[in-house]
Amino acid sequence: CYYHLSIIFTLKSQFCIFFYGISRLLLLLFYICFSEMPLTDVLSTLGDNPYFGAGFGLFGIGLGAALLRKGASTGLVLFRRNFMMTLEVPCRDKSYQWVLLWVTQKAARRTQHLSVETTFEQMDTGRVNTTYHFLPSIGVHLIEYNGKYIQVTRTREQQSLDLHAGVPWENVVLTAFGTNKSLFTNILEEARQMALKTMEGRTIVYTALGSEWRPFGHPQKPRPLSSVVLDEGVSERILKDIQKFIAKPYWYIERGIPYRRGYLLHGPPGCGKTSFIKALAGELQYGVCLLNLSERGLTDDRLNYLMTAAPQSTIILLEDVDAAFGGRHESKQVATAYEGLSRVTLSGLLNALDGAASSEARILFMTTNYIDRLDAALIRPGRVDLKEYIGHCSQSQIERMYHRFFLDNNDNEQRAKEFAEIVIKTGKPVSAAQIQGYFMLVEEYSHNEIIQNHQRIWESK
Ligand code: ADP
């Protein structure tokens, strides 16, 4: 019984059996030193003693097991070091999202363990589409890639945060057999191509997270530029100017002029400033970097850095620049208390616009509802090269909006005119957003009903 218990005990703890063995050895030495028997007799007596034999046996087993375990772990380390390779992709790296997408394409179809990312997309008609994107969950996944097995380990550390994004730190580790690191280069390149393909013809909207630009949601299908109906010639003027700018980098470089261009769209709310810029980005196949200057925590330094670190082929959009300094509803004391600490100052913005650190190829759009509230220094040439007023609807604008909305009517020409005349006759300024809202309300109606309803609905607005 003692013998068997000892074995169980040994297998559980080599440390105890080691001391057990040592104690047996000491006992043997003690026996040899103080016994009056000759040494051979002592040894044969001990050999016949089952307890003593078991003790030595256990000592041997424990020692053997310890050595085996140590050998196995050292062997594994050596094997991993010499015959395997790993690639760690931390969540802060640009390729992280690409690699996740790649793993999703390769593994998420087969794996049963997924995590979900839900996005909402608002259509022009106001309907909201919900899409679920499945990603491989936190844990280990196995992928076969070009005949090789790759282990993908996605981990999330609850204790440490990505300070820039304020989300738990995550990373993906790819492990593969072999030493040829080009395997990882190929995977990263494939992941990049895959990501570019899904974004083809789509606009990526970036927002500032800490001092970095991060894609916000999934790439959006851009609305056609023609769907944003502006007054005669405005859209064409801006498009022509920006296309000329993009096509002529050398013109700027040869003349030593910084390769950047600033635009200011001003006018009442709901007239299409933001929609136009987004549609324009889609037309040019550019992304949009959205920045809210009145965001708490956006300091001059951060703004400066963000302006220089905008991703390639993007338009930087600063909305409501008039509301950035001091805030519309903020007392002067509060504004002064926060100045420079957690919000942007005018001089900080001017610095960011044309300071030494500005990146060379930059397209910047600013929007405001109140141009008269802007400091003259902010909109001087060089900082703002083209200003356009995006105002309330003109008659021709309303006609074109009617055309776009009620595409399938034969008599549109006449009807659009009739509708536009009625709206203009009310004498009230009307924004394109209001017209759009009205059309959505009466979408199902006949033209006569639209005209009849118009007066009633308009007045109730
Ligand atoms: P702003 O930036 O001038 O406040 P938005 O671009 O945010 O206006 O427009 C608000 C809504 O009104 C959007 O849904 C957009 O589709 C619609 N809208 C505004 N102006 C136009 C326009 N000129 N043509 C078509 N739709 C417009």
Q: Tell me: the pLDDT tens digits for 250-284?
A: 888 888 888 889 999 999 999 999 999 999 998 98
| 384, 264 contact by CB (below 8 A) | yes
Whether 281 is in the pocket of ligand 1, judged by its Cβ within 6 Å, is no
Encode pLDDT of 45-68 as tens digits. Answer: 766 777 667 766 777 777 788 889
Choose between 391 and 407: higher pLDDT. 391
Mean pLDDT value across the chain: 80
Least confident among 99-108, 126-135, 231-240, 371-380? 126-135
Least confident among 109-113, 136-140, 201-205, 260-264? 109-113
The alpha carbon of 275 and the centre of ligand 1 are apart by a number of angstroms equal to 5
Whether the per-residue pLDDT at 305 is higher than 50: the answer is yes
What's the pLDDT score for residue 417? 85
The alpha carbon of 274 and the centre of ligand 1 are apart by a number of angstroms equal to 7
Encode pLDDT of 150-194 as tens digits. Answer: 888 888 877 666 655 556 778 889 999 888 888 899 999 999 888
User: Can you list the positions of beta strands (E) in 216-361?
Assistant: 260-266, 287-292, 314-319
What's the pLDDT score for residue 16? 65
| 315, 363 contact by CB (below 8 A) | yes
Whether 269 is in the pocket of ligand 1, judged by its Cβ within 6 Å, is yes
What's the pLDDT score for residue 15? 63
- The total number of residues shown for the chain amounts to 461
Whether the per-residue pLDDT at 122 is higher than 70: the answer is no
Q: Which is the closest atom of ligand 1 to the Cα of 265?
A: 3
The alpha carbon of 23 and the centre of ligand 1 are apart by a number of angstroms equal to 88
Encode pLDDT of 20-42 as tens digits. Answer: 667 777 877 887 777 777 777 76
Q: What is the mean pLDDT of residues 98-114?
A: 77
User: What pLDDT band is residue 11 in, cutting at 50, 70 and 90?
Assistant: low
Cross-strand pairs, 134: 116
Whether the per-residue pLDDT at 316 is higher than 80: the answer is yes
User: What pLDDT band is residue 127 in, cutting at 50, 70 and 90?
Assistant: low
The alpha carbon of 347 and the centre of ligand 1 are apart by a number of angstroms equal to 31
What's the pLDDT score for residue 330? 47
What's the pLDDT score for residue 340? 47
Encode pLDDT of 322-341 as tens digits. Answer: 887 654 444 455 455 545 45
Query: What does the block give as tokens for 119?
Result: 């996005």
What's the pLDDT score for residue 329? 44
**Above pLDDT 90, what percent of the chain?**
17
What's the pLDDT score for residue 156? 84
Least confident among 191-195, 335-339, 430-434, 443-447? 335-339
Candidate ranges 237-246, 252-261, 370-379; pick with highest mean pLDDT:
237-246
What's the pLDDT score for residue 248? 86
Whether 233 is in the pocket of ligand 1, judged by its Cβ within 6 Å, is no
Pocket test for ligand 1, best of 220, 234, 275, 398 (most atoms within 8 A of CB): 275
Encode pLDDT of 203-212 as tens digits. Answer: 888 988 877 8
Choose between 239 and 254: higher pLDDT. 239
Whether 434 is in the pocket of ligand 1, judged by its Cβ within 6 Å, is no
Q: Where are the domains of the chain?
A: 2-83, 91-200, 225-389, 395-460
Closest CA to 278 of 204, 388, 380: 204
Task: Quote the CA–CA distance of 352 and 371 in Å, as a whole number.
Answer: 20
Would you call 447 helix, strand, or coil by DSSP?
Answer: helix
Closest CA to 272 of 391, 401, 373: 391
Smallest CA separation from ligand 1 atom 5, residue: 272
Choose between 440 and 303: higher pLDDT. 303
Smallest CA separation from ligand 1 atom 10, residue: 270
Q: Is 398 exposed, middle or buried (0-12, 13-18, 19+ CB in 10 A)?
A: buried
Pocket test for ligand 1, best of 273, 400, 436 (most atoms within 8 A of CB): 436
* CA 62 to each of CA 20, 65, 337: distance values in angstroms, whole numbers, following the listed order: 10, 5, 70
Whether 432 is in the pocket of ligand 1, judged by its Cβ within 6 Å, is yes
The alpha carbon of 124 and the centre of ligand 1 are apart by a number of angstroms equal to 10
Candidate ranges 109-113, 261-265, 345-349; pick with highest mean pLDDT:
261-265
Task: Quote the CA–CA distance of 212 and 392 in Å, as a whole number.
Answer: 36
Whether the per-residue pLDDT at 385 is higher than 50: the answer is yes
What DSSP letter does each residue of 11-44 carry, written as one string? HH-HHHHHHHHHHHHHHHHHHHHH-SS-HHHHHH
Q: What is the DSSP letter of 426?
A: T
Would you call 297 helix, strand, or coil by DSSP?
Answer: coil
Task: Quote the CA–CA distance of 131 and 122 in Å, as a whole number.
Answer: 11
Query: What does the block give as tokens for 4?
Result: 């068997």
User: What pLDDT band is residue 308 in, cutting at 50, 70 and 90?
Assistant: confident
Q: Which is the closest atom of ligand 1 to the Cα of 223?
A: 16
What's the pLDDT score for residue 178? 86
**Class of the CATH domain delimited by 225-389:** alpha beta
Whether the per-residue pLDDT at 228 is higher than 60: the answer is yes
Query: What does the block give as tokens for 397?
Result: 């604008």
What's the pLDDT score for residue 237? 94
What's the pLDDT score for residue 10? 59
